[in-house]
Amino acid sequence: MSRTRPTSNKKHEEPSGPPAKQVDTTPTPIGFGHFRKHQKLMLGAAVVFSIVAFALFPSVGNMSSALGGDDAGIVGRFEVPLSGEQVDVTDIEYSRVSRNIGRLAGEVTADDVWSHLMLMADAKAAGLMIADTEMAQELSSGLRQAFGLERDLSRQEYEAFCASRGFSGPRGFEDAWREQLLVGRYVTFMSMGAQVVDSEQVYLRWRVDNERFDFVAAVFDDLELEAVADPSEDDLLAWYEAIPEGQRENRFQDPAKRDIVYAALALDTELETLPQDKLGALTETPDAQVESRFNQVRRERFPDDEEMTDEIRAVLAREVRVIDYAQSAWQAFNELPEEEQLTERFTLVMGEYGLTVEDPEGLLEPEDVKQLPLLGDDRFSNWVTYMQPGRSQVVRPYGEVVHVGVFFVEEGVEARPLDYEEGREQIVTAWKEEQRDRPAQDFRAALVERARALPQAQEEIAPLIAAAEAAAEERLADQPEGDEPLDADAIRAEELELIEADISDRVAQYEHLVWDDVLAAEGSATLLSFEGVPKSYRRNPDEEEAVDSIERFVKTNTTVFAQGVDSLTPVLRQAAQGRSAVVRVTGRELPEKPEMYVDAEGMANARRSLAMQRRFEENQAFTPEQLKATHKLQLVVRDEGEDGGEDWGEGEGSDADEGESDQT
């Protein structure tokens, strides 16, 4: 049967001669009558084809393989760990997932696609699914949140949204979203399952956290800054240049300066003296806010009171009221149009609220801010330093501070790094500060020197020294004739310097043997002994112990708990208190399991910490690299030669597809 040729808009010349006979070439549709006429022939042919097909190809997969090759259309394959099933991924499936991820998330890489495919297979093998009702709820809440609506999208809005994401309709979007939810559910399911730990595992973790340590500490008073002699120029410059450049820029600066105006209100202000119209606009003070205030200031102001008395409650309730009142004054200023937030308006608003206003003259450095009346302290200084001109802030009082404040920054100059010449005064001070622990450092150096002189230490390090000297002799012997002679002493010193770290490590095991002798010769150290201090002491310190005490400092220092028995720490400096210590660990003991059961908080911490660790480890299994390894991902590597052959490559090669969203 011939087909009619489509007509063209172009003009053609009419052929000469008589017109040809017109033939109707319109295709005749095959109707039911035609089928009835030839049904026996058609059904017979279908049966014969089916028998032949199933005889030659027992499965549809084999038939497709025979028609297109064993790996026709397959871009990769992987194994599902849960079931052992091998999954072949066709280019059609790969492209479908790639397009869907791109439509939902924007950018897509090959790792994204393969991770999705492998996790989808895992979720199905685990028997997980997303019910239609759950799917509807997720879509409803997600779209409401995305559009900031309190209602569901209309049908027209929903279809427009799906189209905007590149989907032909809601069905395609929902299928893609369902897969994302299923993958997310599987990852969550596996992560939560990893957090289930038994009591034996919890005990092992609790035991490590609560190992008991015995140790002694030799404590030294640091030198006063004035007692430290000035360094030589060479020593100072060498010390300065050894500091990384970024640290130097942050450490030695012309500090930031701010011109500020501030207002303050005493916490013991009688509420009756404040403007009642403004005070009356405040809401009532909740009891929880008073409780919070008590917890903030109890250690400094009420150290002997575990709970609030009625008298303390009355005092703190008034303080909270005063703080809220100052907050309302700041809000009144802060709500002004930005162009009206100027010094004059700040002074006017604060005065209307009855706050005392102070306007220090000029740009103030952090040290100047600390000396200001009413609000001057370290915390206020830090606030001011980081605030930009034109901004204001409330300074809430903590500890023993007796005023609540509001400040406004008029102008500012940012910090500027200083070079060596400009910052020399700061550099000298910093160098001296590091030398203040010299008594402790000298004690530590004496321990090393005496330990190194022991016969057993000398025997230990003799091979190292011999090897270094041999290396030096070899360098001297290899010197070309005619060159200027090398300095033999300098060469030996260089080789010995290279092994100094190894020598220190080997000598360290003998330092405890000379501890008592060096301590007795020192004479100025204070010796403190500690027994059975748990490694977790940092989380649960003795509340009766002073926070700034040397005992608290040593018992919470992590360096101590990293030492073995008869090991010594380096110098530990408590700079704020002007003290330094060297600690010697004398014993370690793991607690028994029954002790864990009476430590409910410690056991809960161990369980929680272990669960978090297991969850982190499980999440690492979902990285693309781990998924490729556990699923034995293989990719088809297609040769571009004349024969167009194929080969299988490891999954690590999948990055070659990175960035392709619609094809492999």
> What are the φ/ψ torsions at residue 447 (nearest 5 degrees)?
-60, -45
Q: What is the mean pLDDT of residues 635-647?
A: 61
Provide the 8-state DSSP code for 480. P
Confidence tier at 455 by pLDDT (50, 70, 90)? very high
Quick one: what percent of the chain has pLDDT higher than 70?
A: 84
Residue 328 has pLDDT above 90, yes or no: yes
Using alpha carbons, select from 121, 94, 106, 133 the residue that is nearest to residue 182. 121
Q: Which residue has the higher pLDDT, 121 or 658?
A: 121
At residue 640, the pLDDT reads 53
Q: Which residue has the higher pLDDT, 259 or 62?
A: 259
Residue 402 has pLDDT above 50, yes or no: yes
pLDDT for 535-582, tens place per residue?
Answer: 989 888 998 899 999 999 999 999 999 999 999 999 999 998 999 999
Whole-number average pLDDT of the chain:
83
pLDDT for 60-95, tens place per residue?
Answer: 344 444 434 445 588 999 999 988 999 999 999 999
Residue 399 has pLDDT above 90, yes or no: no
Residue 376 has pLDDT above 70, yes or no: no
DSSP for 513-568 reads: GGHHHHHHHH--PEEEEEEEEEGGGGTS--TTS-TTSHHHHHHT-TTGGG--TT-B
pTM of the model: 0.57
In Å, how far are 172, 209, 210, 561, 567 from 201, measured between CA atoms?
46, 13, 14, 22, 29
For residue 272, give the amino acid letter: E
Quick one: what percent of the chain has pLDDT higher than 90?
A: 49
Confidence tier at 59 by pLDDT (50, 70, 90)? very low
Residue 47 has pLDDT above 70, yes or no: no
Burial code of 359-397, b = ≥16 C-beta within 10 A, e = fewer? ebeeebbbebbbebebbebeebbebbbebeeeebbbbeb
